[in-house]
A = this chain, B = another copy of it.
Amino acid sequence: MFLHKLSEILPSEQIFIGDNIDAKYLSDFFGREKGAAIALVFPKTTEQVSTVVRLADAYRVPVIPRGAGTNLAGSTFPEAVHNAIIIDLSLMNQILALNPETFTVTVQPGVLLCDLQEYVESHGLFYPPDPGEKHASIGGNISTNAGGMRAVKYGVTRDYVRELEVVLPNGEIVCLGAATVKDASGLSLKNLIIGAEGTLGIVTKATLRLIAKPEFSVDVLVSFSSLRTALESVPEILKTGVIPTAIEFIAGSVVQMGERFTSLQFPAPKATAYLLLTFDGPKPQIADDLRRVENHLRELKALDFLTLDKSGSVTVWKIRGCLVKAVEAQCAQEPLDLVVPIDKTADLIESVQQLTAETGVVTVAFGHAGDGNVHLCVLREQRNDEEWQADLTNFLTHLYRKAADLGGLVSAEHGIGIAKKRYYLALTDPAIVTLQRQIKAAIDPKGIFNPGKSYSI
């Protein structure tokens, strides 16, 4: 009956049912899990999203919103038990308006990050959030509060969302937030939707804040004799008053893995650890920033401070950008995005090394040192399914506990989804889990929006 009604409200070419659903929509990003759905639809308008949700609400059919499908935590994975409908927003991919007077752009949720960045930059503007996956959708970035490289200076997705059009679980369409810079008018429902992983509403339009495009950007590679020295330099850099756009860390051994994968040569002498710093702005300001940071880092025993030319920058970012894929090419892995306070990154890495010594589980680490966000790839190596599940669970239980002890969180920017849910729930105050579920029950009393993801039951 539901499917019959569905066929009445959407053109047939926008509906896929049963065996006609491509397997990629029934799995996670890595294609490992196997789920199921009763239907997959591709709405083209907010009204179509609303109509489909109203129907799902009437028939109590769970709804799984999906953008570009790049989520790494299984946030868009359709668990077979739910018999859900997947609403894929990738056809709603228009950039609707650019307003250079208010420094805002209005987009549909299916617009890809790379397309948005290119578009606004061609107009002399700049969308600062820069998550690693450039082919993610903006709707997905909002739903996970995606972070990325440039958070040190510019913040994360949350900081750039002015206004959201959202379809609620009852099918109602609401506009949350405003095109204004300031807002002290009522509860910030917009901020509740951001990072909710589609459990409270489906974003169907977003007005995002932009800034003027920085005139220049310069990358610097700083070499260190140990990863600890590198990581402990991060607060010191920020104490100079200079805020680099990005502060990435990467161990020498990981660089070599990236070199092999890309067949590129890292444009710096071999070292145990590197910080990759980016500075942007007008030329005189960058020169002044470089001078200050270099002076301070040399006092702090940095081995080398290498300002990269254009081709050097391209090479380094290609190597930095390929790391998850380079690891994945070597063996299956579990990608993590832990975060700790910025003065605790070195301690976290040390705990990881200890855990490896104790458990035999090996990881590859790199990430955003400037904001304490460590990307660990946990390597499966030769383990069979059973060994892998047991070892991974044990390793993650101890690791996340350690991160929490350091004041950290399970997820910095990927979201909780289903992959991290058990660890998140184990480490979160039950009162806070209850609060979230109470809010969920208030907004989605039938529990049809993305059931079982993140905090939800």
| A interface list, Cβ under 8 A from B | 99-104, 144-147, 151-152, 155-156, 158-159, 168, 172, 174-176, 178-189, 191-192, 194-196, 199-200, 211-215, 235, 238-241, 243, 282, 284-285, 288, 292, 337, 339-343, 368, 370-373, 407-416, 424, 428-429, 431-433, 435-436, 438-439, 441-443, 454-455
Contacts and interface: CB of A to CB of B under 8 A. Distances in A.
Contacts of A454: 186-187
A179 B407 contact: yes
B159 A159 contact: yes
Given A102-B342, A439-B443, A178 B371 contact: no
Contacts of A189: 432, 435-436, 439
A239 B101 CA distance: 8
A185 B407 contact: no
Given A179-B341, A438-B443, A172 B412 contact: no
Contact of A241 (B200, B214, B371, B407): B214
Contacts of A213: 241
Contacts of A187: 192, 195-196, 199-200, 436, 439, 454-455
10 contacts: A101-B343, A159-B159, A174-B429, A179-B407, A183-B409, A186-B433, A186-B455, A188-B195, A192-B439, A438-B443
B178 A156 contact: no
A15 to B, nearest CB: 28
Given A156-B182, A439-B442, 7 more contacts: A102-B343, A145-B184, A151-B182, A181-B370, A184-B337, A186-B424, A188-B194
Contacts of A282: 241, 288, 292
A264 B439 CA distance: 53
B172 A431 contact: yes
A343 B103 CA distance: 10
Contact of A147 (B145, B182, B436): B182
A457 to B, nearest CB: 13
Contacts of A240: 212
Contacts of A241: 212-215, 282
A157 to B, nearest CB: 9
Given A189-B436, A235-B102, A285-B284, A415 B184 contact: yes
Nearest to A182: B412
Contacts of A288: 282, 284-285
